[in-house]
Structure 1
Amino acid sequence: MPDIPENTIAQRELQPGQRCEVWIASVTGERELVFTSRDVLVEAPNWTRDGAALILNGAGKMWRFDVGSRAVSQVPLTGIPDLNNDHVLAPDGTGIYLSANDGHLYRAALAGGAATRITEDDGFFHFLHGVSPDGDELAYVGIEAGDFTQPGRLMTIPAGGGAATLLNVDGHCDGPEYSPDGEWLYFNTEAFTSSPGHAQLARVRADESGMERLVKSDSVDWFPHLSPNGRLASYIRFPGGTVGHPADLPVDVVLVSTGDWSTPLHCWPLIGGQGTLNVNSWSPDSTRFAYVAYPVG
């Protein structure tokens, strides 16, 4: 096993009296509580391509939650530091790309085993959010020198490693994710404001052209996730004035049609934020998606 650098990002833990809840929401408006824990704080569900399980991080590890049996098991990864909540599944359904607390990106088999580092020591911390539909490219946010007072930059890199590309997008950005056809990157950005915070949803073509604002709102909107069929999207809505995407706030998980981002189809209020909906959590049939709440009491 290679030497593992010391972690530089603290792991989140449940506060006294707090629990985490994994919910599955339907596009028809219903929702179901499928998992609760008062011991381990889990975050950021991905739905596996076969529709059988959710993949989440918690306590620096990866976990598999079987949707049918409700069984939970650890994904046995080696050669990687503790993980954060930025992870995406490879389009072939057998691999996973991961962000670790040393600021680097890794790839591994979804079944577990040795992980391989993708990114180089290029002066950035790397926070993964998207993989292109053909599996050839990753989209991530780069934070220069790990200085979180600096804006997040929209970046891409070959999935097998290599030279990174910095996209010409202004303002602090986060959550870049490819559209199902691979033509667009969807993300949130502060490019539309002169004040700190007030992130809004946007998209830009993968060739850096045609940037569009998706909705204008008084809320602070983060992490747009398109359904596999491209017809719907989920995102998380923070209260106006929120800077960043902190934890433990009253937020809304919002469902919209990609044909009209300004008119929510359904909203689910909860206590959460960080960890609730950081990555794409849609089921492969585009009928459901998962999210995490963190209520207290």
Structure 2
Amino acid sequence: MARTLADGQHAIIRILDVDTGETAVIHESADVLYEAPNWALDGTALYVNGDGHLFRLELNGGAPQRIDLGDVPELNNDHVLDPDDEHFFVSADDGHIYRAPLAGGQATRVTNDDGRLHFLHGVSPDGTTLAYIGVETSADGAWSAPNVFTIPAAGGPDTQLTDDEFPDDGAEYAPDGTWIYLNSERARTRPGHAQLFRMRPDGSGAEQLTSDERVNWFPHVSPDGTRLAYVSFPSGTEGHPADRDVIVRLCEADGSGMRDLARVLGGQGTMNVNSWSPDSRSIAYVEYPMDDGRTESDAARAES
């Protein structure tokens, strides 16, 4: 079921210049909880999800316009543009990944009936392969530790790249295809302590990129391949929950030179997918402030 805004909460879609720090509000809503901006390949629009649907938001003004995907089930916040600039890939709440026309129209299912949930995060630069997070579920609904898989974008056999008890997520290809970037708990000091890693496209040669007390999620590679933008949660966070005081951060592709870009109330939905502009100068993200200025701890108490 699609997420919704709390009473008095807003979804604000922003663009931030990573070098100057200047920000601009592109859209604000008190009705729809928009999430996870992708930048159109021509730089003129953003793609966001909300209410289980996908929307196109022109940067020169106007409201988000819903894209009709036919009978595809409700979407979650994992969607990635196809390099052909005519299609995109989306994850739906039925646990499958679909390929659909950017202009709208009937989508085609990519993933197999293999008993796992499929959460899309990356597409190879040539558009032939998807990287996704696969989760096995038990009869009582419990989830296994998420692992990284690949599958041909046209459909076909899956390849499992990671296989251990430590959760992996956010698998995304480098623009030249030489790495898959991800967050993982494989070096954790306590449950939930995810850090950023990268590995070769066959799952070999894993390298740890960050090592700090915070919980780091969703490394997004700039189109020029030089920098990563990611969401950093407070120490002790497990998973990537919503309505937390998070930091949007930037580092070099090797993990060096980390610096803070923005502090926002967000987390889940803020930047789940690659949101870099085509010129590698700006990122888009979503924050979810409360009208009364409540912070993470206040929001958590209100939910309990």
Instruction: Tell me if TM exceeds 0.5.
Output: yes
Partner of 1:83: 75
Which residue number in structure 2 is paired with residue 247 of structure 1? Answer: 242
Deviation at residue 193 of structure 1 after TM alignment: 1.7
Tell me what 2:188 maps to.
Answer: 193
Tell me whether 168-177 or 268-277 shows the greater mean CA deviation. Answer: 168-177
Range that drifts further, 65-74 or 105-114? 65-74
Distance 1:37 1:235, change over 3 A: same
CA deviations on 1:159-210 (whole Å, 9 max, x unpaired) are 0011111113541000000001101100000101253201000000002211
**Residue number among 117, 124, 135 corresponding to 1:143 in the alignment:** 135
> What do residues 121-177 of structure 1 show as CA deviations (whole Å, max 9, x unaligned)?
101000000000000000000010274542101100000011111113541000000
Residue 13 of structure 2 is aligned with which of 2, 18, 22? 22
Deviates more, 1:243-252 or 1:116-125: 116-125
Cα deviation digits, residues 264-294 of structure 1 (max 9, x gap): 2442000000000100001111111100000
**Paired residue for 1:5?**
none
- 2:57 equivalent among 54, 57, 65: 65
2:26 matched to 1:34? yes
Q: Report how far residue 70 of structure 1 moved.
A: 3.6
Q: Residue 158 and residue 190 in structure 1: after superposition, are their counterparts in 2 closer, same or farther (change >3 A)? A: same
- SS in structure 1 at match of 2:80: strand
Q: 1:257: how far off?
A: 2.2
Paired residue for 1:269?
263
Residue aligning to 2:302 = none
Alignment-derived partner of residue 163 in structure 1: 157
SS class of match (2:242):
coil
- Segment of structure 1 superposing worse, 182-191 or 24-33: 24-33
For 1:275 and 1:131, the matched residues in 2 are separated by 20
Task: Indicate conservation of the 8 Å contact 2:35/2:77, yes or no.
Answer: yes
Instruction: Supply the distance in 1 between the matched residues of 2:62 and 2:280 (Cα, whole angstroms).
Output: 21
Residue pairs, 1:119-130, within 5 angstroms = 119-130=111-122
Match of 1:205 in 2: 200
d(CA) in 2 for partners of 1:113, 1:15: 32
Equivalent residues of 2:18, 2:261 under 8 A apart: no
2:99 counterpart residue number: 107
1:225-284 per-position Cα deviation (integer Å, ceiling 9, x unaligned): 01000112100000000000000000000122225x243244200000000010000111
Aligned residue number for residue 300 of structure 2: none
2:247–2:260 CA contact under 8 A, matched in 1: no
Shift of 1:83: 0.3
Shift of 1:120: 1.6
| Cα offsets for 1:68-92 (capped at 9, x unmatched) | 1244211111020000000100011
Partner Cα separation in structure 1 for residue 215 and residue 38 of structure 2? 23
Q: Name the residue aligned to 1:134.
A: 126
Show structure 1 runs of 5+ residues with no match: 1-9
Q: Which residue of 1 aligns with 2:38?
A: 46
Q: Is the Cα–Cα contact under 8 Å of residues 183 and 217 in structure 2 kept in the other structure?
A: yes
RMSD: 1.3
- In the aligned structure 2, how far is the partner of 1:120 from the partner of 1:149? 18
- What is the total number of aligned residue pairs between the two structures? 287
The amino acid that maps onto 1:133 is P
Separation in 2, partners of 1:274, 1:148: 20
Distance in 2 (CA, whole Å) between partners of 1:194 and 1:279 is 26
Q: 1:148 to 1:264 in 2, by over 3 A?
A: farther
Q: Alignment partner of 2:84: what SS?
A: coil
Identity %: 51
Paired residue secondary structure (1:54) = strand
Q: Is the 8 A contact 1:63 1:73 kept in 2?
A: yes
Determine the structure 1 residue equivalent to 2:297.
none
SS of equivalent to 1:207: coil
Q: What secondary structure is seen at the aligned counterpart in 2 of 1:78? A: coil
Query: Per-residue CA shift, 1:82-111, capped at 9, x if unaligned?
Result: 000001000111110000000000000011
**Maintained 8 Å contact 2:97/2:118:** yes
Partner of 2:252: 257
Identify the residue that residue 177 of structure 2 maps to in structure 1. Answer: 182
